[in-house]
Structure 1
Amino acid sequence: MVTTPVTPPTPATARRAVVGATAVAALGGLLFGYDTGVISAALLYIAPAFQLSEMWQQIVVASLLVGAIVGVAVGGIVADNLGRRRTLSITSLVFTVGAVISAVAPNLPTLLGSRLLLGFAIGTASLSVPAYIAEIAPPESRGRLVSINQIMISSGILFSYLAGFLLADAAAWRWMLGLAAVPSLLMFVGLLRLPESPRWLVSRGRLDEARAVLGKVVGADRVESELTALSSAVTAERNVTYRDVLRPSLRPAIYLGIGVAAVNQLVGVNAITYYAPTLLTKAGFGESAAILSSVGIGVANVAFTLVGLLLIDRVGRRPLLLVGLGGVVVSLVVIGLLYAATDLSGVWAVALVAFLIIYEAMFSASIGLAMWLINSEIFPTALRGKAGSFGMFTHWGLNLIISLTVLSAFEAFTPSGLFWLYAAFGLIGFFYLKKYLPETRNRTLEEVEEILRARARK
């Protein structure tokens, strides 16, 4: 029997394969952003449709976060057992089912159930999408390709705001929620043609399949060296326990990971993401004007996420984070002053929207981006998954608490008091990070670990 030799892929073919896989998987990031942000506009119409009090409005928003926490808790286990690609396929179907049910929900319990489903998909996607992209991409382009997921999350939020604005006149909140079914179905179809992660295949002992996938994405001449590196990494991670993670030498890094995640949430970004139109209508804006203002906030989010990605390797993590966080604190103080000292009409209304946009820009280019990056750079490779989970749960836990309290705090503390509270948290975070955050750019993990230990001893 004569066999026809397989022609090795050219570098261009390998690049196209990796970019195509990244684009399909990153639709999970787009859905993450869309389903997170769409409630911002939809809530203006869901509240009267179901006659929701402010507390129930907060519960509708927070139900997504409850599902996300469950998704984060079990998503890694599911992905490790079923594989990255199959997990993403199931997640895309959950996104679709959740979007459809939320769009046709006849009552509040059904809507809450659908948002729990969507949250579960978001939590799972937050782990599986970057993991799949990182594991399918060659080392030299891994960081750049993984960052696409962050851009897609920001883009998803922007698209949700645009959908809210375009459908606002018709008060079509069901269409706002249901539109997410389109990219989720595209994601499911696209995943049917994608390969499994070579790293997962190696972890399951399926070396021939891993070799075949690596041949498509890195080229035949690098297959064996990549396979050896993957085998070594998988073996090292398999021997790691939480006892290893909690050893004294690693605690400064864990505290820092938790601290960065806490600051990310405590400056109130999701008060803006989830409630901007509601807060602006309370300030006297019309519904369409409030939703249009949120579109400007979404544009700033996408644009300055890109700016941050361009700057973070040039100016460094620490300067970018501290300057951006300082800008966040100043913006929050000014927003509080505008609420306290003006009637928010005319030029003052424009100033309020302008400083909300400045706030979002400063956040997106700094702490919004650095939270994920810092947690990926301060831990040894073999311990990164387990050690990073502390920051991940801090992020989602505080996200849930904030989503449950924004409208109540808005009334209890006054608008000025709420934004100044977020500013106070930001200021505390600024001095904490100024003291404990090392510059990780161009440093080895061993150098970062030693710096953290030295700072902890001071």
Structure 2
Amino acid sequence: MTPEDQEETQPLLRPPGGSAPRGRRVFLAAFAAALGPLSFGFALGYSSPAIPSLRRAAPPAPHLDEDAASWFGAIVTLGAAAGGVLGGWLLDRAGRKLSLVLCALPFVAGFAVITAAQNLWMLLGGRLLTGLACGIASLVAPVYISEIAYPEVRGLLGSCVQLMVVTGILLAYLAGWVLEWRWLAVLGCVPPSFMLLLMCFMPETPRFLLSQHKRQEAMAAMQFLWGYAQGWEEPPLGAQHQDFHMAQLRRPGVYKPFIIGISLMAFQQLSGVNAVMFYAETIFEEAKFKDSSLASVVVGVIQVLFTATAALIMDRAGRRLLLTLSGVVMVFSTSAFGAYFKLTEGGPSNSSHVDLPALVSMEPADTNVGLAWLAVGSMCLFIAGGAQALRCLLAGLCLLHLRCPFHSGLCP
């Protein structure tokens, strides 16, 4: 493909003479869309503090045994898988804006059902609805943000999507420290409600409007978002739709990066990072920490910090180096965490608890548990490696122009 052809297939419009847009409403629109990934992260992190809270709840509140707790955390993935398929269908038929508006509804409905839950089935139904919304939001929000952003801020706004996901997880952990499961579900309704309200005042993306041959609406959207519309060039209509055909997989330049991208995404998911996010507090309870909520918050903070760090250093350090380093860190940390459980298995320390009064003070309550620090330390390393791996992986896939049809969006 020649440079001229590449320039023609750019997904966004270009100003004449290279002039930079001056509008700032694009940041408001991006923030409104990013509330979807924030809600997505909150839904992922919700089960971690909610499961211990439900186990402590007195009747008539529903009670979770081990099997029910496993389903409560994992069923969100089934909803997200369906949401990923539904989001892909909505994206090109209902449009980017309407898809985001629609995904706010199952978010609110799901948390509302959890809030009113009187039995296990209502809890699972609510989690399934929030999972459906997660799948839609994880697919639609990045597309909306990339198509409304002008080149000077496209990278910045694009990096905010993953950062908002991990911020939502951290928000769930922090709120779960002080709120029981019902009030935590009420809080979960707030971000999608704000997204629904704000998106009603935001325009559709210019690219989608042009694909629907609505040039006047596209110009109005550009004027709203960027503060300038006159003289903008419309890309050739033939370049607006680049459909993927299975026959293209016969080309080495297509199937090799496609297989690499799919494999990396699969292995990243199989690393267990989602399980850690879903059951962080339960894991630390099993590791015999008295204040497992605080340990979960530490993990959430580490994830946010290293996601932001990966975004800042990725272009300088390179995707391949960071992915390799992240893999090594994750192998080492999970091995250390497994070693901790093995060393404390069946010993007298199995009935002891470890207090976490402060982030830097992790002294064991029992001297027999001398390796108690290993649990939090190894988990923090695992999360740090996973955050960097995911951030680099998503950026690499974007550079390869890959769109995985099997990705459900469950990437914390």
TM-score over 0.5 (shorter chain): yes
The residue aligned with 1:320 is 322
Deviation string, structure 1 residues 123-179 (Cα, Å, up to 9, x no partner):
000011000000110123212211101110010000000011112xxxx21111221
| Aligned residues of 1:35 and 1:177 also touching (Cα < 8 A) | no
The residue aligned with 2:359 is none
Q: CA deviation at 1:285?
A: 2.2
TM-score, length of structure 2 as denominator length:
0.84
Q: CA deviation at 1:13?
A: 4.9
Q: CA deviation at 1:350?
A: 2.4
Matches within 5 A, 1:87-106: 87-106=99-118
Q: Which amino acid counterpart does residue 197 of structure 2 have in structure 1?
A: V
- Report the 3-state secondary structure (helix = DSSP H, G, I; strand = E; otherwise coil) of the residue aligned with 1:166: coil
The residue aligned with 2:5 is none
| Aligned residues of 2:73 and 2:279 also touching (Cα < 8 A) | no
Instruction: Give the distance between the partners of 1:276 and 1:223, measured in 2 at CA.
Output: 53
**Do residues 285 (structure 1) and 289 (structure 2) align?**
yes
CA 1:256 to 1:212, structure 2 compared with 1: closer, same or farther past 3 Å? same
Instruction: Give the distance between the partners of 2:238 and 2:225, measured in 1 at CA.
Output: 20
The residue aligned with 1:330 is 332
The residue aligned with 1:159 is 171
**Do residues 228 (structure 1) and 251 (structure 2) align?**
no
Instruction: Give the distance between the partners of 2:148 and 2:247, measured in 1 at CA.
Output: 30
Instruction: Give the distance between the partners of 2:219 and 2:115, measured in 1 at CA.
Output: 44
Question: C-alpha root-mean-square deviation of aligned residues, in Å?
Answer: 2.1
**Do residues 110 (structure 1) and 132 (structure 2) align?**
no
Instruction: Give the distance between the partners of 1:223 and 1:364, measured in 2 at CA.
Output: 42
**Do residues 389 (structure 1) and 411 (structure 2) align?**
no
CA 1:279 to 1:221, structure 2 compared with 1: closer, same or farther past 3 Å? closer
Matches within 5 A, 1:173-188: 173-188=181-196
1:257 is matched with which residue: 258, 261, 272?
Answer: 261
Instruction: Give the distance between the partners of 2:229 and 2:200, measured in 1 at CA.
Output: 27
Give the stretch that moved more between structures: 158-167 or 175-184: 175-184
Q: Structure 2: where are the runs of 5+ without partners?
A: 1-18, 355-363, 365-369
Instruction: Give the distance between the partners of 1:284 and 1:333, measured in 2 at CA.
Output: 18
| Aligned residues of 2:22 and 2:228 also touching (Cα < 8 A) | no
Matches within 5 A, 1:396-435: none
The residue aligned with 2:152 is 140
1:129 is matched with which residue: 131, 141, 162?
Answer: 141
| Aligned residues of 1:94 and 1:118 also touching (Cα < 8 A) | yes
The residue aligned with 1:430 is none
**Do residues 372 (structure 1) and 394 (structure 2) align?**
yes
The residue aligned with 2:384 is 361
Deviation string, structure 1 residues 46-105 (Cα, Å, up to 9, x no partner):
245434332221111121111100000111111211111111111112211111111111
Instruction: Give the distance between the partners of 1:222 and 1:260, measured in 2 at CA.
Output: 43
| Aligned residues of 1:304 and 1:361 also touching (Cα < 8 A) | yes
Instruction: Give the distance between the partners of 2:27 and 2:296, measured in 1 at CA.
Output: 31
The sequence identity of aligned pairs, in percent, is 34
Instruction: Give the distance between the partners of 2:187 and 2:209, measured in 1 at CA.
Output: 34
TM-score, length of structure 1 as denominator length:
0.76
Instruction: Give the distance between the partners of 1:164 and 1:350, measured in 2 at CA.
Output: 23
Q: Structure 1: where are the runs of 5+ without partners?
A: 1-9, 400-458
Q: CA deviation at 1:272?
A: 1.3
| Aligned residues of 1:215 and 1:223 also touching (Cα < 8 A) | no
Instruction: Give the distance between the partners of 2:307 and 2:83, measured in 1 at CA.
Output: 25
Q: Which amino acid counterpart does residue 82 of structure 1 have in structure 2?
A: A
The residue aligned with 2:278 is 274
The residue aligned with 1:37 is 45
The residue aligned with 1:294 is 296
Q: Which amino acid counterpart does residue 100 of structure 1 have in structure 2?
A: A
- Report the 3-state secondary structure (helix = DSSP H, G, I; strand = E; otherwise coil) of the residue aligned with 2:279: helix
- Report the 3-state secondary structure (helix = DSSP H, G, I; strand = E; otherwise coil) of the residue aligned with 1:279: helix
- Report the 3-state secondary structure (helix = DSSP H, G, I; strand = E; otherwise coil) of the residue aligned with 1:389: coil
Instruction: Give the distance between the partners of 2:229 and 2:219, measured in 1 at CA.
Output: 11
Q: Which amino acid counterpart does residue 371 of structure 1 have in structure 2?
A: L
The residue aligned with 2:367 is none
| Aligned residues of 1:214 and 1:223 also touching (Cα < 8 A) | no
CA 1:26 to 1:245, structure 2 compared with 1: closer, same or farther past 3 Å? farther
